[in-house]
Amino acid sequence: METDYIFDGSFEGLLTAIYDGYYEKNPPRQIIPKWAYQFELTKTFHEVVTNSDKFSKVSKAILDKIGREAFVKIYYAFLSEDTYAGITIFNYVKLGFKLGTRIQLYLTEPTVAKIEELNRKVGNERHRFLGLLRFHKLNSGVYYAPYSPQYNISQIIVPHFAKRLATMNFIIHDTKRKIATIYDSDTKEWYLSAFDANQYSLIAEDKYQHELWKAFFKNIAIKERKNPNLQRQFMPKMYWGYLVEKQ
């Protein structure tokens, strides 16, 4: 009989759940992070215990049998935090073990189509924030970028900035999930950490830069061609809160 699987919300936890899905008596009905699960007295569930051995076995099997491209797609789908991401990934892996790398061709198969859709969404938001993220220079010399993305994209945008702004110390702060990626220009390394902005005194020195940037933003538009719909379509309002030029 199918049952609900609950995991700790980590990628390691998810791949452990997939391992369990193969060997447990009851296959998964859905695979959900603990924080999103609605506990009910009458429902039984299987609690996944994250296990690094199981994680490595499943990762290796995916890489060997379905390929690197599929592995990245699975990771992106996981970052979407979609309710069905867990079970879709489980079905995708199952299908992938049968079809191998050719799974990429089955674009009309519902599971594959769902994975593709989640990838498109997460990938699009990642690309958007490569442009829309705004850093503020703090009086400590650190560059601080708060943002609130729809999907959990911090891990996949940081490498881009670590390459580009390699000589700057910076913090990218996901205010929605209360996590920050902190990059250290001496060691050229970054790490992920829980982060509460209220515990730090973040003092920006950037008022003048904001003024310059806003002046540019205003004057670069051709007013005879004004088109707010088009602007919103490319740059949805939900992102405006952290955009200097939209304050």
Partner 1 sequence: MFKDFTNVNQCFPGGIHMELVKKLEILSAAAKYDVSCSSSGSKRKNTPDGIGNGHVAGICHSWADDGRCISLLKILLTNNCAFDCAYCINRSSNDVQRAAFTPDEVANLTMDFYMRNYIEGLFLSSAVLQSPNHTMELMIKAVKKLRMEYRFNGYIHMKAIPGADRELINEAGLLVDRMSVNIELPSSESLRLLAPQKSKDSIIKPMGQISNSILAIGEERKIFKGTQKFVPAGQTTQLIVGATPETDRTILKLSEGLYNKFSLKRVYFSAYVPIVAHPLLPVLAAPPLLREHRLYQADWLLRFYGFTANEILTEENPDFDPNLDPKCFWALCNLDLFPIEVNKADYFMLLRVPGIGVKSARKIVSARRVGILRHEDLKKLGVVLKRAKYFITCNGKYEGNYKFLPENIKLSILSDGKKNDRFEQLSIFDMTTKLPTIEDQLISASGQL
Going 234 to 237 to 239 to 243, the CA torsion angle's sign is positive
Which listed range, 36-44, 50-58, 81-89, 236-244, lies at the site for partner 1 (CB under 8 A)?
236-244
How far is it, in rounded angstroms, from Cα 22 to Cα 6?
Answer: 15
Residue 94 found at the interface with partner 1 (CB under 8 A)? no
Q: Least distance in Å: CB of 27 to partner 1?
A: 26
Residue 161 found at the interface with partner 1 (CB under 8 A)? yes
Residues 164-203, mask of contacts with partner 1 (x by CB under 8 A)? xxxxx----------------------------xx--xxx
Q: Closer CB to partner 1, residue 25 or residue 226?
A: 226
Q: Least distance in Å: CB of 69 to partner 1?
A: 13
Give residue 170's region: left, alpha or beta (phi > 0; psi -120 to 50): beta
Under rule CB under 8 A, which residues in 100-159 are in contact with partner 1? Answer: 102, 104-108, 113, 127, 130-137, 139, 143, 145-146
Under rule CB under 8 A, which residues in 43-62 are in contact with partner 1? Answer: none
How far is it, in rounded angstroms, from Cα 205 to Cα 237?
Answer: 26
**Residue 236, SS3 per DSSP:** coil
Residue 215 found at the interface with partner 1 (CB under 8 A)? yes
Residue 72 found at the interface with partner 1 (CB under 8 A)? no
Q: Closer CB to partner 1, residue 36 or residue 159?
A: 159
Q: With contact defined as beta carbons under 8 Å apart, do 167 and 193 qualify? A: no
Q: Closer CB to partner 1, residue 56 or residue 241?
A: 241
Angle at CA 161, nearest 5°, toward 155 and 245? 105
Strands 136-137 and 143-147: antiparallel
Q: Closer CB to partner 1, residue 134 or residue 177?
A: 134
Q: Helix count (H) and strand count (E) of the chain?
A: 8, 8
Q: Least distance in Å: CB of 128 to partner 1?
A: 8
Tokens representing residue 52 in the block: 């690094």
DSSP characters over 45-62: EEE----HHHHHHHHHHH
How far is it, in rounded angstroms, from Cα 40 to Cα 96?
Answer: 33
Q: Which residues bind partner 1 (CB under 8 A)?
A: 102, 104-108, 113, 127, 130-137, 139, 143, 145-146, 160-161, 163-168, 197-198, 201-209, 211-213, 215-231, 233-235, 241-245, 247
